[in-house]
């Protein structure tokens, strides 16, 4: 699903963010990308989202060399994945329903299908009763679940979560990770980028550790998937 | 973009107009001010142009005919046709010796005895002439030369100096008007573009999120474009109402003037019915283009995510 082949990234000012990174995350896999602040995690994410191009090497997402994708085709790459950000990135003027529906609207899905799918996904993340709430009226955990619903709503093959537990309390963090595990159990590839060692160790999934732009370890997961719920 | 998305995004743009009230008000305020100034400059130019054209049209060129020539009606009609055939001539009226004499008799009835001395025609000292109205005043010299070259013409009287002053004033004012309107249009685009840029900047995060969920640039732009066009159209209606109401008041006031100014302005000030159909569509088109383009160009920078 995601393949980094000898990827290096140097930002202007000779700042080396990644150096000769080789990673292969297979379809249906759950992987943590672990690293402290400044390790190169954000650059790793930006490469997948095609926000940045590698200076050397190649990044493949779902078989596509992302550096070769034309500017105008980037939205179509991003529609193949769902992204959950640490700061939720919900549109403040839209309700929970509208925020989730927006991800479907950008792909020109008819309104009828949107009306059926959005309440279903909001129910799935436990926010069926919050559809009409604005983000400012919701807790951090609820906003994060709206963000997850938005990432899921168009049935992507890949979910990327960037520090998904960074702005919520530990109990809700565990809940969020459970939700991501459940999503993975139906065959959706999940990549969680985090700096929280403790959280990672509780889930026994594959852990790729990045430090100073290098992959310093890649430990395979041990836990089997549970029954599908998504 | 399918019909469902088009409807949704257009609704979203209109909703944003109301939701971002302060920015909408700022945009409408700025654009209205620019349109009002542009409208005033346009109306001023149009009226000065009309005034100068009126003054110019009051100038008649007199083509005197040889007193010894006693042309038949057919010959005079032929000469009339020859005059009208000269490019730039708008009209010609023939006055015989007798017509001129009668005209003077009308002016000075108390000297009726004196005018009787000039009867019959052989004693009439006046010259038969054509009063010629020239449309193309800029080419007065050339037209006069062509008139002089016609048979039986002995003299051509044209207020050439005065005419050239009118023509020069008209040209200067027309050019100055165009330059002023062009400068104001550029200033409007810059100002409105900056105002919209502020609105877009305040919503850059929203744009950023849209990009991350896979929205195409066109999908993101459309609501902003609708919003910009909305601001432009609202401004155009407001500016049109202000300018035309103020102009109607001025026209009414000028109609109440008497004496020289009353005569001059009464004949040359354009009525509202002659300007509204130029001002309103120009405002609507200009407002929509400036608003729409202003928002689309302001958003461009934030789409590179």
Residue A204 inside a domain? The answer is yes
Taking all residues of chain A, what is their mean pLDDT, rounded to a whole number?
88
Tokens encoding B166: 């009118």
The C-alpha atoms of residue A119 and residue A127 are separated, in whole angstroms, by: 9
Residue A110: list chain B partners with CB under 8 A: 2, 4
Rg (CA), chain B: 31
A89 assigned to some structural domain? yes
Over residues A68-97, mean pLDDT: 90
How confident is residue A223, by pLDDT bands cut at 50, 70 and 90? very low
Position B268 pLDDT exceeds 80: no
From edge to edge, which strands make up the β-sheet containing A189-194? A81-84, A158-162, A189-194, A30-34, A206-211, A214-219
Q: Do A78 and B214 touch (CB under 8 A)?
A: yes
Whether A21 is in a domain gets the answer no
Q: What is the CATH number of the domain that holds A198?
A: 3.40.50.300
Mean pLDDT of the region B99-109:
78
| Residue A13 within a domain | no
Q: What is the pLDDT of residue B37?
A: 87
The answer to the question of residue A19 being in a domain is no
Angle in degrees, CA A208, A211, A213, rounded to 5: 100
Residue B205 and residue A89: Cβ atoms within 8 Å?
yes
CB contact under 8 A, B205 and A111: no
A-chain CB neighbours of B213 within 8 Å are 78-79, 83, 102-103, 106, 150
Find the residue in A nearest to B208 (Cα). Answer: A89
Q: Does residue A14 sit within a domain?
A: no
A50: closest chain B residue by CA: B305
| B214 close to A (CB below 8 A) | yes
Q: Which of residues 283-302 of B touch A (CB under 8 A)?
A: none
- The minimal CB distance from A75 to the residues B1, B209, B215 is found for B215
Using pLDDT thresholds of 50, 70 and 90, give the confidence band for residue B47.
confident
Question: Is B187 at the interface with chain A, CB within 8 A?
Answer: no
- pLDDT of A228 higher than 60: no
Confidence of residue A224 (pLDDT cuts 50, 70, 90): very low
DSSP string, A145-179: HHHHHHHHTT--SEEEEESTTTTS-HHHHHHHHHH
Chain A residues with CB under 8 Å of B219 CB are 75, 106
pLDDT in tens, A118-128: 999 999 888 99
Residue-level pLDDT at A208: 93
User: Which span out of A91-95, B39-43, B80-84, B115-119 was modeled with the highest average pLDDT?
Assistant: B80-84
Could you tell me the pLDDT band of residue B210, with boundaries at 50, 70 and 90? confident
Q: Compare A93 and B155 and report the one with higher pLDDT.
A: B155
Q: What is the pLDDT of residues A135-165, one digit of tens each?
A: 999 998 899 899 999 999 988 999 999 988 8
| Prediction ipTM score | 0.79
Whole domain around residue A121: which residue ranges?
27-56+70-219
Q: How big is chain B, counted in residues?
A: 305
How far B6 CA sits from the closest chain A CA (Å)? 9
CB contact under 8 A, B214 and A51: no
Count of CB atoms within 10 A of residue B219's CB?
Answer: 20
User: What pLDDT is stored for residue A230 in this prediction?
Assistant: 43
**What pLDDT is recorded for position A211?**
92
On chain B, the residues whose CB falls within 8 A of the CB of A93 are 19, 206
Q: What is the mean pLDDT of residues B110-118?
A: 72
Strands, sheet with B89-95, edge to edge from the N-terminal-most edge strand: B89-95, B129-134, B61-65, B153-157
Any A CB within 8 A of B19 CB? yes
Considering CB atoms only, which of A93, A103, A111 is closest to B19? A93
Q: Which residues of B touch A148 (CB under 8 A)?
A: none
**Contact between A28 and A157 (Cβ < 8 Å):** no
pLDDT for B137-175, tens place per residue? 778 889 999 999 999 999 998 877 777 777 788 788 888
C-alpha B87/C-alpha A227 separation (Å) is: 95
Residues B214, A76: C-beta atoms closer than 8 Å: yes
Question: Highest-confidence range of A126-140, A189-203, B253-267, by mean pLDDT?
Answer: A126-140
Q: Is A17 exposed, middle or buried (0-12, 13-18, 19+ CB in 10 A)?
A: buried
Instruction: Give the bridge partners for A158, in sequence order.
Output: A81, A189
A45 vs B contacts (CB less than 8 Å): none
What token pair was written down for A199? 């959280």
Mean pLDDT of chain B, nearest integer: 84
In a domain, A63, yes or no: no
- The number of folded domains in chain A is 1
CA atoms of B189 and A20, how far apart (whole Å):
49
Backbone phi, psi, residue A94, to 5°: -110, 145
How far is Cα B123 from Cα B146, in angstroms, rounded to an integer?
30
Rounded to whole angstroms, how far apart are CA atoms B83 and B87?
9
B3 in contact with A at a CB cutoff of 8 Å? Answer: no
Closest CA–CA distance from residue A108 to any residue of chain B (Å): 6
* B246 pLDDT above the threshold of 80: yes
Query: CA nearest B215 in A: which residue?
Result: A106
Tell whether B93 lies on the interface with A, counting CB pairs under 8 A.
no
On the 0-12 / 13-18 / 19+ scale of CB atoms within 10 A, B294 is buried
Ordered by where they begin, the domains of chain B are 3-56+164-303 (no CATH), 60-158 (3.30.70.3040)
Band of pLDDT at residue A214, cut at 50, 70 and 90? very high
Q: Which of A51-55, B100-104, B214-218 has the highest mean pLDDT?
A: A51-55
Nearest to A108 among B1, B217, B305 (CB): B1
Q: Over range A93-106, report the average pLDDT.
A: 90
Q: Do A89 and B212 touch (CB under 8 A)?
A: yes
User: How many A×B Cβ pairs under 8 Å?
Assistant: 54
């Amino acid at each position: 699903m995601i393949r980094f082949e000898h990827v290096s990234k140097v930002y202007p000012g000779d700042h080396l963010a990644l150096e000769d990174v080789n990673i292969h995350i297979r379809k249906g896999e759950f992987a943590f990308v672990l690293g402290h602040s400044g390790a190169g995690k954000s650059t790793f994410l930006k490469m997948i989202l095609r926000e940045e191009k590698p200076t050397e090497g190649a990044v493949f997402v779902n078989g596509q060399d992302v550096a070769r994708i034309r500017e105008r085709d980037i939205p179509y790459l991003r529609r193949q994945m769902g992204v959950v950000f640490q700061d939720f990135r919900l549109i403040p003027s839209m309700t929970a329903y509208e925020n989730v529906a927006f991800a479907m609207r950008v792909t020109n899905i008819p309104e009828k299908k949107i009306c059926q799918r959005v309440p279903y996904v909001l129910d799935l993340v436990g926010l069926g009763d919050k559809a009409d709430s604005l983000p400012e009226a919701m807790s951090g955990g609820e906003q994060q679940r709206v963000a997850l619903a938005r990432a899921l709503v168009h049935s992507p093959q890949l979910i990327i979560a960037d520090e998904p537990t960074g702005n919520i309390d530990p109990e809700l963090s565990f809940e969020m990770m459970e939700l991501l595990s459940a999503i993975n159990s139906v065959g959706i590839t999940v990549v969680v980028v985090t700096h929280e060692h403790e959280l990672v160790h509780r889930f026994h999934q594959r852990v790729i550790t990045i430090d100073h732009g290098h992959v310093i370890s890649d430990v395979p997961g041990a836990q089997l998937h549970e029954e599908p719920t998504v | 973009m399918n019909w469902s998305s088009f409807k949704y995004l257009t609704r979203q743009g209109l909703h944003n107009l109301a939701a971002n009230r302060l920015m909408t008000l700022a945009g409408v305020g700025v654009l209205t001010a620019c349109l009002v100034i542009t409208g005033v400059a346009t109306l001023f130019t149009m009226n000065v142009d009309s005034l100068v054209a009126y003054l110019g049209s009051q100038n008649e060129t007199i083509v005197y005919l040889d007193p010894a020539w006693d042309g038949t009606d057919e010959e005079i009609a032929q000469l009339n046709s020859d005059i009208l055939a000269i490019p730039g001539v708008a009209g010609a009226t023939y006055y015989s010796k007798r017509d001129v004499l009668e005209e003077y008799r009308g002016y000075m009835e108390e000297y009726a005895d004196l005018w009787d001395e000039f009867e019959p025609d052989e004693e009439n000292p006046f010259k038969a002439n054509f009063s010629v109205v020239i449309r193309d005043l800029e080419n007065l010299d050339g037209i006069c030369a062509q008139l002089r070259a016609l048979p039986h013409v002995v003299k051509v009287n044209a207020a050439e100096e005065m005419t050239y002053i009118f023509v020069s004033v008209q040209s200067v004012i027309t050019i100055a008007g165009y330059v002023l309107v062009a400068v104001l249009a550029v200033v409007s685009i810059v100002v409105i573009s900056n105002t919209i840029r502020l609105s877009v900047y305040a919503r850059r995060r929203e744009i950023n999120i849209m990009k991350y969920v896979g929205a195409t640039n066109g999908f993101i732009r459309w609501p902003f474009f609708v919003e910009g066009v909305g601001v432009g159209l609202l401004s155009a209606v407001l500016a049109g109402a202000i300018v035309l109401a103020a102009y109607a008041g001025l026209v009414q006031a000028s109609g109440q003037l008497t004496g020289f100014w009353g005569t001059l302005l009464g004949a040359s000030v354009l009525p509202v019915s002659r300007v509204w159909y130029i001002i309103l569509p120009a405002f609507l088109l200009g407002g929509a283009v400036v608003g729409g383009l202003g928002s689309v160009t302001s958003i461009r920078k934030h789409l590179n995510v």
